[in-house]
Amino acid sequence: MAHAAPAPGRMSRPGRPPDVFSERTHTIARITFPIVLGLIYGYWVAADNRAGGPITGWNLLLGFVSTLVFAVVCFALLELAPRMPRELHALLWTAFVGCAFGFLYAQSNESIWRTVLLSLLISAATFVPFFYRYYTHEDAFGRRIR
């Protein structure tokens, strides 16, 4: 069976796919990603807090403050966590996910023990994939392996 020989200069690079977006697009995405996630999270917190009741001023304030805190912490983690060693990098994202879930779940008026237990379970379940991802994509000094 005959196969076509590769043309010189047309070989694809092994490893990374080509980057099709400009640096400006990546910069805008780095800023808007935490804001959009924060808006979704803030709406979710406010909706859980009101439990189907009427929308109040305090409920709106809780949603906006939750949005602000979530977006600021997410943005800070996106900027600072990659500079940390891979174990701490995974632990920071795990703590963020556990705290965000715990606060969200606490708005549904469940018991504090159930909230803490589920937050710890969610944190443990997210630590494994985060650690695996950073362990396989970074060297021991925290630099990404290309």
* 70 and 92 fall within a common domain: no
- Using the structure block, give the residue that is written with the tokens 């290309």: 146
Average the pLDDT over 11-23 and give the result: 69
Residue 22 in any domain: the answer is: no
Total count of domains within the chain: 2
* 69 and 95 fall within a common domain: no
* 132 and 76 fall within a common domain: no
Q: How far apart are CA 124 and CA 86, in angstroms?
A: 16
Higher pLDDT residue, 38 or 10?
38
**Which tokens go with 91?**
């632990």
In this structure, how many other beta carbons lie within 10 angstroms of the beta carbon of residue 98? 21
Quote the pLDDT of residue 29: 87
* 90 and 146 fall within a common domain: yes
Q: Tell me the three state secondary structure of residue 138.
A: strand
Q: What is the pTM of this model?
A: 0.76
* 54 and 106 fall within a common domain: no
Q: For residue 31, give the nearest of 76, 62, 67 by alpha carbon.
A: 76
* 49 and 79 fall within a common domain: yes
Q: Tell me the three state secondary structure of residue 144.
A: strand
- Tens of pLDDT, residue by residue over 94-126, are 999 999 999 999 988 888 899 999 999 999 999
* 90 and 76 fall within a common domain: no
Q: Which domain holds residue 52?
A: 28-83
Quote the pLDDT of residue 116: 92
